[in-house]
Structure 1
Amino acid sequence: MKMNFLKSAYGAMVIAGLLAVSCNRDEDARTGTDAEEEQAVESVSVGEDASDDALEIAYQGENQLTSTGGRVNTMCATVTDDKVNKIITIDFGDGCTGPYGRVRKGKIFIAYSSEVGDSIANRIITFGNYFVNNKGVTGTIELRDISVNAENHVQSTKRLKDLTVTFPSGQNIVFNGDRTREWISGYGDDDMSNNIYRITGSVSGVATNGRSFTQEIVEPIIADWSCAAQGNFARVSGVVEMTKLNGYSVRKRTVDYGDGTCDNIITITTFRRTFKITVEN
């Protein structure tokens, strides 16, 4: 009787131990999955900054080319205009520190539809071995449907086609989709750092972990390039919601860019927690 009791007690202890190990393993798996999900949200948010930067640099190159009327060396880059093929080339060579304190190398190509300086002409932006702060950028940015809206602001559709941002780790993010980009301050000003944009719309793509995603701006993003000129993040306010991240539960994940303060901090909220990260430009 006593022996049977001891056997039963021992068996219960073994089972309890196995359950504890199993729970710990489940907890470890959950923690790893959560970390992967958070990393995907963070990487997508940081990666899109590279497309903002490329579009702003393209505008600066074209603007300075217009003001000089020919070949110029500016922004630590050589800017040339192939008038026959209607392509502007911004060449950063092997690398230099330029606008907003960022190191760029390689080339940005701007195909224009009418003439240099035509503010409402469509543009197609592509890249040649181009990097900004060691992040590679490939694919296409189209600037289309440029018009003056009811608020007398120039606005356009920023269309991303397989725009790929590759991090130094070798991981990358691919973006496809449209953003509406409204130029709310600084238009026509020679000081590029005065430019402020309001951005809305949605994109889809594939995150660094290979999972597809859908992302929508639920509160308009304000990108203030005077903040970028101070070495901070250009996006100073607005909220983006990622509701679809393939392989994870359908739930909201948000990125809050702030209250308009110039800084490098964004707030990420997932199902498990809310945390802040400091973005490295």
Structure 2
Amino acid sequence: MRTSTFIKSIAFIATFSFISCTEEVTTADTTSGLTSDDVSVNAKMDAITGDITLIAENQLDEQSTGKNHISILPDCATVTTVVSGNTWTSTVDFGTTGCQFTNGHGAILRGQIIVSGSTDFTQSPYVWNYSFNNFYYDNILVEGTKTLSRTIQSTTAQTTPHPVVVVDLDLHLTFPNGNEYDRTGTRTWELISGYDTPMVFTDNVYLATGTWTTVGEGTSSVSNVTTPLLFEISCQYRLVAGEIRVARNNHTADVNYGTGACDNNATISIDGGTPYAFTFGN
């Protein structure tokens, strides 16, 4: 796999949804607390958006470098790229029967992801986006759009100028059981290591911060990264450290992804209680 000095981001994203019934609006529940199921659903959505962003970045890399890098896509996926004027568009097609993605748990993908951007890769910020056509991730229908904006700059996390990406999105996800969620929000991704080896993807390390909202099935929650999330592409699970606090009304759930071990183990502490283990990405 490979990378470029253009971002190699895996993105997390935010959530917002409205539920209506005939002439009246059913507002989000303002009294109930958080459950482990709520946290697991959010973690699943995070895994979905992360893998999709990785695929979109891979397509940007192919266009921006003009070189044939090793693709992160499985052999069952096909890519068609069209350049029209000053815009390139790549359609990544996973077919209709199921195509296994090479991530930690082998997600099954169907449908298309459409990635597009300007052919002027010197723009700062450089903006590109992706959308979907009948796309499913483990039988979860994913709809909407996502916009990414990249600059090269110094930060407190890494003083050497490096890619910093702001991610804005608006996604709608429908789970196999019929539950629906909308996610909207902004994330900041930093490629803190690996940007100086543009032909090597597996040495990339990212830090992600941000706040997002999730509304669906009559509930609303706000998530905030309390300890920067650390992603190491050399690890099959990618997310190896960091903590997110999910809040609903006066209730909280702290999701801790560890301190650097390459596994898909995490813990949840609800309302400050004793942490218990769960497996993310499944």
Does the TM-score normalized on the shorter chain lie above 0.5? Answer: yes
Check 1:132–1:257 CA distance in 2 against 1; reply closer, same or farther (3 A cut): same
- Which blocks of at least 5 consecutive residues in structure 2 are unaligned? 1-31
**Aligned-CA RMSD value:** 2.7
In 2, the alpha carbon distance for the partners of 1:189 and 1:153 equals 12
Query: Counterparts of 2:138 and 2:201 in 1: how far apart (Å)?
Result: 20
Q: Does 1:160 align with 2:169?
A: yes
1:86-135 residue CA offsets vs partner (Å, 9 max, x unmatched) = 32211111222233243222111112033479795211111111122333
Residues 73, 175 of structure 1: CA spacing in aligned structure 2 closer, same or farther, 3 A cutoff? Answer: closer
1:263 Cα offset (Å): 0.8
Question: Alpha carbons of 1:253 and 1:89: their partners in 2 closer, same or farther (altered >3 Å)?
Answer: same
2:101 is the counterpart of 1:98: yes
1:86-235 aligned at under 5 Å gives the runs 86-94=88-96, 95-100=98-103, 101-115=106-120, 121-149=126-154, 150-161=159-170, 163-187=171-195, 188-207=197-216, 209-228=217-236, 233-235=237-239
Q: How much has 1:241 moved relative to structure 2?
A: 0.9
Structure 1 gaps of 5+ residues are: 1-32
Partner of 1:39: 37
TM value normalised by structure 2: 0.74
Distance across 2 between alignment mates of 1:155 and 1:117: 15
**Residues 206 and 213 in structure 1, CA contact (< 8 A), matched pair in contact too:** yes
8 Å contact from structure 1 (residues 62, 117) kept in 2: no
1:8 aligns to what? Answer: none
List per-residue Cα deviations over 1:24-74 (Å, max 9, x = no partner). xxxxxxxxx66x6331122112211111110101122333453249xx995
Q: Which has the higher contact order (CA 8 A, sep 6+)?
A: 2
**Percent identity for Structure 1 against Structure 2:** 27
Q: Distance in 2 between matches of 1:200 and 1:167?
A: 26
Question: How many correspondences in the alignment?
Answer: 236
Q: Does 1:60 align with 2:58?
A: yes
CA distance in 2, matches of 1:157, 1:50: 18
| Paired amino acid for 1:220 | P
More helix by share: 1
